[in-house]
Structure 1
């Protein structure tokens, strides 16, 4: 699938916040917003507390702690941007966070406060973090919190995933060579079957696309933005071969595109041992894979004749599962909804797998309206849940 250039999903992104809210139903951080907001004129019915975000007076303003869901109005009186966390000063677990509080601006955090100790950590740009005074709430049920993930925490799962990708690229190279050989000998029936096998193998490696760099466009790019469309000389890779196989091109015409695809795959496999994935991106990729599936596969935008978008969607889900399996040790102590997420992922895989009959995949236009609606709903829910994983696995600055 084409890769969406998505930035890290953090709580200061309005879209990400909406996803986290829907996915967790209050599991980690309830909300953050933008703009000035006066406690006296608020119509939300919640208690508002003005809190200063600065190195000299971090957390000043919270002098009358009370339990319950409430809003902290963070004001930054300094001349530089800052972020702020509400955390447990003993464990470092974070109840809520807001980034990008610009000079002279106010932003808000809604969180449930209960019995326990709290402190605000102010993290100015280009300056050391400062922790404000500890505030104790004497009663009530606290909202959930999670200990921040560090870059160090993410290195072992990232290395494990990178090794798995390396093995997958070896398999991909063999499958792509088989596809090239089918075309070279003129067996286009075998080529269609082997094209799907190889393409699905590539799609399962989705969390590594960013590290693949320009090789991804050469291997799995589309004709989007090309002046000549599907006939443009720069249209290459799996989809170029797909177009030819399902639009009546001869084996002779397909030999060069198939050979170029194999060369790109072989080069990527050879270069992979020298490539380093960014550990900080691993949690985001699990979410991004499903987002891309919704945008490209479930809309048919990447169908060049094979009608295999649902097969690709299933392969994408397999790719997300591979990421989650390696992040499991990190998530199991931080994400209470992990078991539910894994069940929903299995549900989605089962649903899509049910569209394969007698070895053939149902094309998108072969689904009934009810099937389409159910598929869209399942993937939408899964994307929302995976947004929480992206948020939890985004390393935070703590010093």
Structure 2
């Protein structure tokens, strides 16, 4: 479904505000409570274990040797309130959240694997209202309803496509499964920040082999991808690839459908919503996904269908921006114009290589110069998109 068709077909959904949301990379609010975080191989040192409700900035510095991530988790230690990923050694990135009173957990993930180094974090009641008020609040509430409707539309298409894909794979119809793989995954990639908010659901469904810890069980899309595009020994650590048995295929397919249905159930729950701060933050996360996985060819290492994911991530980021566009135009018309221009340029560049419906060039067929052009277009969009949450959260 095209972006214009999707947005045009959106219906309003009930809005129930969650506990907290929101982050923005390297663009913090002037009146935010400021905390520092030092992430190393064996420590996640936050300058305070408590803060008053409202806007909180975590300035996260990677003082270790591996790439790290920082998360603010809900009181169940699973729900991701907000996150900042891919922080290289010596780099500092800001995570800005708008948090209501309650119990949370901070977590650093050196090496970007495992549960991370967690500690309890308490948000006390500042006595101030958290979030926007007045006309802006009404605009953002409408944006949230639009985005929830969009998400429900995407998960509906995702579960239907996933079931068809799983049925073909279990039946041994690998040609059909390979044809369905990339186009079905596009629905997942457009709304991945939503899936990431539900604890372990994202890694169970979308973990790459390189993401696994030693001895960790593997499941999801990329587990099946490897079996459909079986690697030569040179691409498999020097070892002959052993195809999955019929029983293993059955289990892998059934697990994928079950995890996808779990996402569908979560999104269609009566109390599901995604706050404006999460939408804007998610748009930036999707572009970060492009920069760290798709533009490097690391996401779809066996199938080389990275451009399908690339386009879907850009689609999802653009929808996130577009539902918030009225507020952005009102608060910062120059930023709105810049985002419009850069999204259009990136879409035009991608269109040179195909489309999700008609098919794209396989990533290993791109030249080094073409990859550099794509990376430059992503960078050009990433900078203004990193300012989106600051505009949305401004009082």
Residue by residue over 1:223-247, the C-alpha shift from the partner in whole angstroms, topping out at 9 and shown as x without a partner, is 313314xxx5x21111111111111
Distance (Å, rounded) in 1 between the aligned partners of 2:273 and 2:254: 28
Tell me which of 213, 225, 245 is aligned to 2:212. Answer: 225
**Partner residue of 1:77?**
none
Residue correspondence of structure 1 range 233-382 to structure 2 within 5 A: 234-247=217-230, 249=243, 252=246, 253-274=248-269, 275-279=271-275, 280-336=277-333, 337-356=335-354, 359-382=358-381
Deviation at 1:150, TM superposition (A): 6.0
Gaps of 5+ in 2: 1-20, 36-49, 60-123, 232-242
Secondary structure of 1:16's aligned partner: coil
How far did residue 366 of structure 1 move?
A: 2.4
Distance 2:362 2:387 in 1: 31
The Cα offsets for residues 279-332 of structure 1, whole Å up to 9 and x where unpaired, read as 131111111110121011112222241101122101111111111221122112
Paired with 1:255 and 1:354, the residues of 2 have a C-alpha distance of 38
Distance (Å, rounded) in 1 between the aligned partners of 2:58 and 2:183:
45
* Aligned CA-pair RMSD: 3.6
Q: What are the ranges of 5 or more consecutive residues in structure 1 without an aligned counterpart?
A: 1-6, 21-27, 35-79, 83-96, 102-124, 130-146
Q: How many residues end up aligned between the 2 structures?
A: 274
Name the structure 1 match of 2:84. none
> Please, which of 12, 16, 31 is the counterpart of residue 26 of structure 2?
16
Partners of 2:135 and 2:394 in 1: CA distance: 5
Match of 1:305, SS state, is: coil
Alignment pair present for 1:215 and 2:201: yes
Task: Answer yes or no: is the 8 Å Cα contact 1:286–1:390 preserved in 2.
Answer: no
CA contact (8 A) 1:211 1:277 kept: no
Equivalents in 2 of 1:346, 1:254: separation in Å?
Answer: 41
Give per-residue Cα distances to partners, 1:183-206, cap 9 Å, x unaligned: 232210000011112111211123
Contact 1:173 1:266 in 2 (8 A): yes
* Partner residue in 2 for 1:156: 142
On the 8 A contact 1:200/1:311 being kept in 2, the answer is yes
Residue 211 of structure 1, CA deviation: 3.2
Give runs of aligned pairs for residues 96-175 of structure 1, distance below 5 A. 153-175=139-161
Deviates more, 1:302-311 or 1:249-258: 249-258
DSSP 3-state at the match of 2:379: helix
The offset of 1:277, in angstroms, is: 3.2
How high is the TM-score relative to the length of structure 2? Answer: 0.60
Question: Which has the greater radius of gyration?
Answer: 1
* Worse-matched range after superposition: 324-333 or 305-314: 324-333
- Cα pair distance change 1:277/1:213, threshold 3 Å: farther
User: Partners in 1 of 2:56 and 2:159 — Cα distance?
Assistant: 45
Does 2:171 match 1:185? yes
**SS of alignment partner, residue 330 of structure 2:** coil
Distance 2:309 2:134 in 1: 34
> Secondary structure of 1:315's match?
helix
